[in-house]
Amino acid sequence: MLADALKSEAYRLSKNRVAVFCSVLLTPLLFAFGGLFYHIMVKSKGDALAAKANLPAAVGNQPVNLAESFEFAASNGANGVLLVFMLLAAAAVYAGDYRWETWRLISARNGRPWLLLGKIGVMKVLAMIAMLAMLVAAFAFHLSEALVAGRPISFDLSDFELGRFLLLWLLSYIRIVQYGLIALLAAVVSRSLLAALFVPWALGFAQSILGGPLLPLIGWEPSDWAAQLLLPGLAYDSLKAAVAPAGQPLPEGVVLKAIVSLILWSLVPVLAAIAWFQRQDLSKE
Amino acid sequence: METVIEIQGLTKTYGTVKALDGLTLSIPRGGVYGILGPNGAGKSTLFRTLLGLIRPTEGTATVMGGRIGDPAATRRMGSMIETPRFPPFMTARQVLVWLSHAHGGVPAAEIEAWLTRVGLAEAANRRVRGFSVGMLQRLGVAAALMTKPDLVILDEPTSGMDPPGIQEMRALIRSLADNDGVTVILASHQLQEVQRVCDRVAIFNKGKVITEGRVSDLTASGERLRLSVTPLAKAMALLGDRASLDGDALMAAVPRAEAAAVIRALVEGGVDIDEARWVGADLEDVFMSETGWTGVKSVSVTGASVQGGDYAG
């Protein structure tokens, strides 16, 4: 039953070319071409300034290490631009059956929980593909840097730590999936595509404000249970800091609280959405 | 009688409105079963409940032996509730493939066969966003039937279809019941269509079944004696309120057992009878009489024919 739901949802999403392009390809393409533009600008401006000041070329001749792309992609996998565009696909997958009035067609063919879990599974696969596309874009970024500046290319893995890379990758992945799960809950409760799009976005924006400058003003410390549990963005940042190579020391217990927070934010929206969906009147679409 | 649906005291309320009011009904396996009723009678609510789209407020129902909403039971059903809608970016063929995946898969050749059978073979690669209501209905029917269900629920399947499409649909429904052994439950406001295609009907009003039975039995109970007589006025006077006019003829609402006595009384009263024959009531008469719908069945307005009437129920 779950396999059928996954196959069905994946097939439909594969035909929604706008959603797939925006969620998987747009951000990596923007990043890769933006990087090319940036390197050309740096090169031309740098050369012009150096010529004016009668100095050697501004950009040095050190090799560009393509292996740095791994860590770059892992730690920036859940960047804001990607999250926003991933929400387009999440809204289409989670709220599409309400918008297109197709629940009455599909819900009689499979169990309700399986249908929602199928959607979640498809979004998880999509998030992984988007991150892999970001990895390719990171390679393109470094490659264009080398080609534009005429610098040699190297692939030096001496600073690469597989464990750190995998942890950063996992954290970014969880972050993307969590945004999608908030979209799922918003879609099921509101039956609205716009709510699925904007509720996670608004929640993310509120978290970035509350977890940053406003945190001391509301009397919370980053190590507080309340701060970690209510602000998954803060939990994500705490764990990222813990994994960083030159990691700053974190208050005791923060890592555990952050892990609990991420687990809860991964489970509660799913369970709440399924519970709500089980009792929902699907004739009102 | 083996049944596919057993309903006991089913009630569904929306606020203070009772869409279904203690409905009890058994639908036999096989054949085409019609559900009739004026708008708001509870037909669509019943279908939505049977498909597990909504939960009843009270009462129980079993579908194909399983409780309502049981995926194992609903997977053996095909349905089309009102005009179906589909993701607009998909083509007709993609819609069927998508729905078949959710159901465990249907071979591609069968999907093609259904596209042909409902007359959408040429439009199979067109996106559904440009489809007419009739084309959406055809695609909805293909989606409902392609999984070879044992029970099919069709709510207004010919809505928006042109006359040839309606004829094809009627033939398809009959063929499903006669050749494929599928039980078809059909709701339609096209009473002539229902009379032609259904074996049994239930007439709903205000969330309840007000009459149920074989179409032939229901229409037979309303049969009348059609008499061509002279003088007409004398015959009308002799029969009193049992008589009505149908053009130049007189329609006598008398049981078959009394027919001979009535004819004898007319002859003895000085009425010449040129012709006498039995005329069955149509389903429209039964429907109007059972639901309390009064007034004209059709009215000619400046050359156009319109349907009209007042609901007195």
- The pLDDT of residue B295: 47
pLDDT band with cut points at 50, 70 and 90 for residue A31: very high
- The pLDDT of residue A272: 97
From B49, B30, B70, select the one nearest B207 (Cα to Cα). Answer: B49
Q: Do A16 and B86 count as a contact with CB atoms less than 8 A apart?
A: no
Answer yes or no: is pLDDT of B310 > 60.
no
Whether B293 is covered by a domain: the verdict is no
* Whether residue B170 is found in the same domain as residue B65: yes
CA diameter of chain B: 76
* Whether residue B206 is found in the same domain as residue B244: no
Q: Which residues pair with B5 in a beta bridge?
A: B27, B63
* Tens of pLDDT, residues A63-77: 888 888 888 888 888
Whether B275 is covered by a domain: the verdict is yes
User: Residue ranges per domain, chain A?
Assistant: 2-278
Tell whether A224 is within 8 A of chain B (Cβ): no
Say which CATH number the domain at B26 has. Answer: 3.40.50.300
Domain count, chain B: 2
* Whether residue B181 is found in the same domain as residue B273: no
* Whether residue B272 is found in the same domain as residue B193: no
* Tens of pLDDT, residues B183-200: 999 998 888 888 889 999
* Percent of chain A residues past pLDDT 90, beyond the cut: 55
Distance in Å, alpha carbon of A17 to nearest chain B alpha carbon: 9
CB A61 within 8 A of CB A72: no
The chain-wide mean pLDDT, for chain A, equals 89
pTM over 0.80: yes
Distance in Å, alpha carbon of A10 to nearest chain B alpha carbon: 9
* Whether residue B79 is found in the same domain as residue B35: yes
Q: How large is the ipTM?
A: 0.86
> What span, in angstroms and rounded, lies between the C-alpha atoms of B28 and B6?
9
pLDDT band with cut points at 50, 70 and 90 for residue B304: very low
CB B163 within 8 A of CB B89: no
* Whether residue B140 is found in the same domain as residue B7: yes
* Percent of chain B residues past pLDDT 70, beyond the cut: 92
Q: What is the dihedral of CA B39, B45, B50, B56, to 10 degrees?
A: -150
- The pLDDT of residue B299: 40
Question: Which residue segment(s) compose the domain that B30 sits in?
Answer: 3-218
pLDDT band with cut points at 50, 70 and 90 for residue B113: very high
* Whether residue B132 is found in the same domain as residue B57: yes
> What span, in angstroms and rounded, lies between the C-alpha atoms of B149 and B154?
12
> What span, in angstroms and rounded, lies between the C-alpha atoms of A84 and A200?
9
Answer yes or no: is pLDDT of A171 > 80.
yes
What are the φ/ψ torsions at residue B306 (nearest 5 degrees)? -125, 150
Interface test with A, best of B47, B91, B98, B136 (most A CBs within 10 A): B98
Q: Which of B174, B202, B218 is the last residue of a domain?
A: B218
* Whether residue B180 is found in the same domain as residue B245: no
* Tens of pLDDT, residues A200-221: 999 988 888 887 777 777 778 8
Out of B75, B77, B81, closest to residue A104 by CB? B81
Out of B48, B87, B104, closest to residue A102 by CB? B87
* Whether residue B251 is found in the same domain as residue B209: no
Out of A109, A111, A283, closest to residue B54 by CB? A283
- The pLDDT of residue B243: 86
The beta strand positions in chain B, using DSSP E, are 3-14, 17-28, 32-36, 58-63, 66-67, 77-80, 151-155, 183-187, 200-205, 208-214, 224-230, 243-246, 249-252, 272-279, 293-294, 299-301, 304-306, 310-311
